Amino acid sequence: MSVQLPQLLPAFRQFQLVYVALRIGIPSALAAGPRTLPELASELEVPECRILRLMRGLVWAEIVSFEQIHGFRLTTEGRNLLDDSPTSLAGGILFHGRFFYSAWGHLDEYMRDARIPFEQAHGRRLFDLLSNDPESAREFNGAMSERTKEYSRGVADLPVFHGRKRIVDVGGGEGQLLLDILKIRSESTGVISDLPMLRPEAERAIAAAGLTDRCSFQEGDMFSVVPEAGDLYLLKWVLHDWNDERAGRILQTIRSRMNKESSLLIFERIMTDGITESVPLVQADLNMLVLNGGAERTQAQFSELLRSSGFCLKSVTPIESNYGFHMLSAGTA
């Protein structure tokens, strides 16, 4: 997609208008039909003078239209912001608006002195923010779970999980991938390992899946401790959050808890070596940089990262998904 330079000037303003509209509930308020300005102000509990200026902006962005008699109504494009729309973009816009939008504004500082853009925008690192902000944590991990659902059932069918007795999902969040595996593999038990703040959501998900007898949540910081004696460890969409030093510490922690028969499965995108060929992953790679100083890695980079952490890369298998995932299988060196 080529850049249309004149369109860059209004684009960031339009995105922010839509993000704010979603945050205060305008699409939902207009879902059933047109509303007047006083009706919107009353329902949303925002003064008319403020709503008026936002609604003008949304008319400019062609998210809503205005009729003198009936008031404001969602355009066809605006209806794509409704959660029940099959083409809904609401979740993605809320997620990117909360976690990426302001951070990208500090990318220049990273180029000058390697300061993490998210930290410059929010005053603290991403995972420090999530640890102290339950609402942000729910939004972040909920988005991760929803994305995982798009491919986790297909992954769970893979023969690599057959006969595994104890599966440990490190940094597993709400545990969507592990839960889908356990639903199919009745011979397996599992442990979701993550920070304490994720216990309530993970335990609710375990109960909703009917797996309280075979799955549990264990609190732990993956840089220092993970559950021991798993015969299979999972790292899904974790390593790309971190630079090589921090990613290596995660791997070393897992390595220290494994036995000789244990193995590790890593689910990540793989960056190609060529500049032109790597373009499809450029946004993902830069997002990881902006959020936490992380990166999408090439196969050679994964191989070296694993080798330096006491592992050997055994195989790389493409996973059918919208995200271009691969499954990297590793054993102890």
Q: Which of 92-106, 139-153, 217-231, 292-306 has the lowest mean pLDDT?
A: 139-153
Closest by CA position to 81, among listed 71, 91, 66: 91
Closest by CA position to 147, among listed 176, 118, 105, 120: 176
What's the mean pLDDT when you consider all of the chain?
93
Same fold, 5-94 and 134-332: no
Domain locations in the chain as residue ranges: 5-94, 134-332
Q: Could you give the maximum distance between any two Cα atoms of the chain, in Å?
A: 74
Q: State yes or no: pLDDT of 108 exceeds 80.
A: yes
- Mean of the pLDDT values across residues 247-261? 96
pLDDT given at position 54: 97
pLDDT given at position 140: 86
pLDDT given at position 291: 95
pLDDT in tens, 37-75: 999 999 999 999 999 999 999 999 999 999 998 999 999
Q: Note the CATH number of domain 5-94.
A: 1.10.10.10
Residues sharing a CB contact under 8 Å with residue 150, sequence separation 6 or more, in sequence order: 321, 322, 323
The C-alpha atoms of residue 281 and residue 271 are separated, in whole angstroms, by: 7
pLDDT in tens, 264-278: 999 999 999 999 999
pLDDT given at position 3: 74
Q: State yes or no: pLDDT of 29 exceeds 70.
A: yes
pLDDT given at position 243: 96
- Mean of the pLDDT values across residues 89-117? 93
pLDDT given at position 117: 97
Burial class of 315 by CB neighbour count within 10 A (0 to 12, 13 to 18, 19+): exposed
* Structure-block tokens of residue 260: 């000789």
184: left (phi over 0), alpha (psi -120 to 50) or beta: alpha
pLDDT given at position 8: 85
pLDDT given at position 135: 83
pLDDT given at position 126: 93
Confirm or reject CATH 3.40.50.150 for domain 134-332, answering yes or no: yes
pLDDT given at position 1: 61
pLDDT in tens, 186-232: 999 999 999 888 899 999 999 999 999 999 999 999 999 999 989 99
pLDDT given at position 244: 97
